């Protein structure tokens, strides 16, 4: 989820806490700002991208997003709030008075990332496994809008109950999206059965614009079949709203169920390209991207360079992010990023 939405969710969660019985405790306003800051704080791991983009891809949503380390991060944030608040005109309270707001904001941040497709390392640093519920697109205007609307309402009417209602409504949205995911998976399973595919893995991926838009992937050893569908539409696809060209193409890519189309993406290509791509993929120098990619597919083979993409993030009409590759395989391999038709060395 985007960082601003995380910050808003942290503010709402902090406002939903029961009023403190302490004689000296942060006001509701102070608690809101603490939740806002704490809700955004786990994304500080973005700074890793400056050091190395592939290290960032594997460590993002790692230790800063760990449930095991949440008590530690909450305590550190509480100490910071206790020291900084008086300097900003707030009250003087011990760090324990800030702990609950920091902890609940961190928790909703972790949950907000868990429902997306990227993967969140809940058990870091003891496990790097990325858990992903795949119910919600990483930038979801419905999700963000409900949180923002609930926060604004809670500023003017019954603050604590309204914040709690907001969290319940957002949870209901995620539950609805989970039901839609189940329906999308059923469409993929029907395709597997109709084509007689064996040992196929069917997965569904939330998409932009609508909770009814889904990407379904059917993965085989040799590659992936993808279909972009809208679970609500029947009959011809309605015209797209006035959007920029690329976004209009994306809007129109989600087909009604009776117009469902499937596109094949080979894992390694064909012929000589297959052997070159397979060698690049299995090379030890490519371990970082191999560890990250959930739906890997060859993107470009040129001369002695091979680039791959991760189809989890493929959107029709838009440039796929995270396209990395390897050059000089078998000789002196080096990592590259594929951008604007060029292989750019990064390591």
pTM of this prediction? 0.93
Gap between the Cα atoms of 41 and 151, Å rounded: 19
Q: Residue 165 has what pLDDT?
A: 98
**Helix H or strand E segment including 278:** helix 271-282
- For the cut 70, the answer to whether the pLDDT of residue 23 exceeds it is no
| Alpha-carbon dihedral angle through residues 125, 98, 119, 232, given to the nearest 10 degrees | 160
> According to the model, what pLDDT value does residue 187 have?
97
Q: What pLDDT, on a 0 to 100 scale, did the predictor assign at position 68? A: 98
**Can you list the domains of the chain with their CATH numbers?**
3-133 (no CATH), 179-266 (3.10.450), 271-345 (no CATH)
pLDDT band at 34 (very low <50, low <70, confident <90, very high): very high
Q: Give the span between the Cα atoms of 228 and 208, in whole angstroms.
A: 11
The tens digit of pLDDT for each residue in 237-252 reads 777 788 887 888 898 8
β-pairing, 223-230 vs 213-219, is: antiparallel
- The two structure tokens encoding residue 269: 């290509």
HSE-up (13 A, CA, CB side) for residue 30? 23
Residue 211, C-beta contacts closer than 8 angstroms, at least 6 positions apart: 142, 173, 176, 177, 180
pLDDT band at 64 (very low <50, low <70, confident <90, very high): very high
Q: What per-residue string of b and e applies to 323-341 under the rule 16 or more CB within 10 Å gives b? A: bbbbbebeeebbbbbbeee
pLDDT tens digits, residue range 257-288? 988 999 999 999 988 899 999 999 999 999 99
Q: For all residues of the chain together, what is the average pLDDT?
A: 94
* Peptide bond just before 125 cis, omega within 30 deg: yes
């Amino acid at each position: 989820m985007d960082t601003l939405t995380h910050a808003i969710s942290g503010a709402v969660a902090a406002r939903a806490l029961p009023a403190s019985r302490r004689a000296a405790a942060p006001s509701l306003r102070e608690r809101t700002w603490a939740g806002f800051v704490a809700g955004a704080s786990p994304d500080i791991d973005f700074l890793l991208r400056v050091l190395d983009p592939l290290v960032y891809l594997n460590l993002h949503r790692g230790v800063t997003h760990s449930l095991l380390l949440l008590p530690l991060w909450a305590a550190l944030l509480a100490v910071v709030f206790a020291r900084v608040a008086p300097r900003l005109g707030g009250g003087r309270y011990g760090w324990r008075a800030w702990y609950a707001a920091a902890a609940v904001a961190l928790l909703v941040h972790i949950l907000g990332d868990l429902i997306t497709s990227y993967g969140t390392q809940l058990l870091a640093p003891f496990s790097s496994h990325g858990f992903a519920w795949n119910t919600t697109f990483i930038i979801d205007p419905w999700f963000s809008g409900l949180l923002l609307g609930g926060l604004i309402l809670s500023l003017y009417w019954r603050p604590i109950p309204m914040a709690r209602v907001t969290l319940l409504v957002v949870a209901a949205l995620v539950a609805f999206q989970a039901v839609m995911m189940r329906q999308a998976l059923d469409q993929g399973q029907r395709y597997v059965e109709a084509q007689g595919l064996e040992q196929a893995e069917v997965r569904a991926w939330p998409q932009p614009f609508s909770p009814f838009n889904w990407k379904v992937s059917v993965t085989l050893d040799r590659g992936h079949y993808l279909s972009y569908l809208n679970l609500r539409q029947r009959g011809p696809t309605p015209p797209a709203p006035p959007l920029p060209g690329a976004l209009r193409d994306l809007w129109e890519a989600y087909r009604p169920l009776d117009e469902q189309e499937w596109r094949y993406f080979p894992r390694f290509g064909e012929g000589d390209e297959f052997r070159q791509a397979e060698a690049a993929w299995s090379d030890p120098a490519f371990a970082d991207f191999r560890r990250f990619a959930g739906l890997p597919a060859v993107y470009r083979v040129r001369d002695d360079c091979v680039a791959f993409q991760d189809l989890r993030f493929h959107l029709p009409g838009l440039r796929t992010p995270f396209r990395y590759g390897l050059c000089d395989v078998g000789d002196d391999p080096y990592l590259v990023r594929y951008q604007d038709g060029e292989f750019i060395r990064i390591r």
